[in-house]
Amino acid sequence: MFLLKLSRAYKTTPTNSLNILLGIPSLHLVTKSLFIRFNIWKLRSDKFRELIDPIFLDFYRDINSISSNRKIIICEDFTDYDYEVYTDGSRIGDNVGFSVCFFERNSLLPVFCYKMISFNSVFQAELAAINFAAGWALERNVKIKVFSDSKSSIEAIRSPKVKSNFVLSVKDNLYNAKDLVSLVWVKAHAGNPGNELADHFAKIASSCGADMSIPAPYSYVKRICKEFLMNEWNSYWKNSTTGKRTKEILPSANLDLLISNKYVIYLFTNHGPFPAYLCRFKILNNPDCLCGEHGDADHYLTSCMYNKDYHLLLPTGASRTHWTRKLCKNYLFLNRLKSIFEISRKICDDLQRL
Ligand SMILES: [Zn+2]
């Protein structure tokens, strides 16, 4: 019912077509995907090992029992440091990694490069790099000033709300090294040579760095559950027997579609003010237009003599999907479609009076 209200489509429009047109997956599939996410992340169930085994997952800690000075880490900005450090994380396709570049009185020490697992995020890579630098300083008892271009990492370090065990363990290390580590933000790609160097090495690290194992973040669980949902939705759509016309134009599901214009829905479903449709549902006795031709959506778009001025050239096959996606955002086209279907509506009214 909600979908019908949102789209103002004809009541007989197949629900699976409306789901596709509106970019809203059907409730039973969403529920299934949320159920799986809950099982994996909360219950640590290994029933969905084909998606991910929970032993590889990060987890949330109860942060109420952690004192606030260990939750909110302020790395003071000092000037009497021994080393300048640039850190950066990078992702190229499935490769994730980070680099840490130490400078001792302007000369670069051997760079540390680490490769992470494809399920790790760039955010984790950035934090792991800062963490590595803090551990290095603590081990040698030297003062460092870390330059990172990751605002989100610095914010996470200062925020009392983060629950991730991985982030909290980084905070623990920074807390222990707080007299040795100063952390400042530097703008990325702004021509800062140290930052450019760290960026360069992070890219290399993502494919050839030494292995660094860090558990998968919650964002990864959300991502795989969304992928699962899209796969299920697509196979449901592919195997469904209704919505044949919509399927021809839009063969696959897309969450970003949201076609709520009723005229576009008439076009995509063939359910609208057309004699052929009204005849199918016994409102008219004859599927033909006043002009004598078969009266479906395409007839009014391309060939009916009563709306010649508005005719459109319809592409066929795969290019039709692309064409329609583009046109749905084009106001001139939408107005034209409206005029076409207003005329077909009048024709249907006339036919009903006959
Ligand atoms: Zn006609």
Q: Are residues 167 and 192 in the same domain?
A: yes
Residue-wise pLDDT for 88-116, tens only, equals: 999 999 999 999 999 999 899 999 999 99
CA of 288 to the centre of ligand 1 (A): 8
In a domain, 277, yes or no: yes
Yes or no: say if 125 and 170 are a contact pair by the CB < 8 Å rule: no
Yes or no: say if 158 and 117 are a contact pair by the CB < 8 Å rule: no
In a domain, 224, yes or no: yes
CA of 314 to the centre of ligand 1 (A): 17
φ, ψ for residue 243, nearest 5 deg: 75, 35
CA of 15 to the centre of ligand 1 (A): 28
pLDDT for residue 1: 57
CA of 75 to the centre of ligand 1 (A): 75
Q: Are residues 167 and 126 in the same domain?
A: yes
CA of 265 to the centre of ligand 1 (A): 20
In a domain, 163, yes or no: yes
Q: Are residues 4 and 88 in the same domain?
A: no
In a domain, 9, yes or no: yes
CA of 305 to the centre of ligand 1 (A): 6
- Output the domain CATH number for residue 159: 3.30.420.10
CA of 269 to the centre of ligand 1 (A): 19
Q: Are residues 263 and 328 in the same domain?
A: yes
In a domain, 63, yes or no: no
Q: Are residues 87 and 194 in the same domain?
A: yes
pLDDT for residue 76: 81
The domain in which residue 7 lies consists of 1-24+241-353
CA of 317 to the centre of ligand 1 (A): 24
pLDDT for residue 6: 66
CA dist 55 → 92, 154, 198 (Å): 25, 28, 31
Q: Are residues 276 and 298 in the same domain?
A: yes
Residue-wise pLDDT for 163-200, tens only, equals: 999 999 999 999 999 899 999 999 998 989 999 999 99
Does pLDDT of 26 surpass 60? yes
Q: Are residues 231 and 331 in the same domain?
A: no
Work out the mean pLDDT of the chain and round it to a whole number: 92
In a domain, 60, yes or no: no
In a domain, 335, yes or no: yes
CA of 304 to the centre of ligand 1 (A): 4
Q: Domain count of the chain?
A: 3
CA of 341 to the centre of ligand 1 (A): 12
Whole-number Å distance between alpha carbons of 72 and 338:
57
In a domain, 61, yes or no: no
CA dist 221 → 27, 44, 51, 197 (Å): 20, 11, 9, 32
Q: Are residues 6 and 81 in the same domain?
A: no
CA of 266 to the centre of ligand 1 (A): 16
CA of 255 to the centre of ligand 1 (A): 35
pLDDT for residue 322: 79
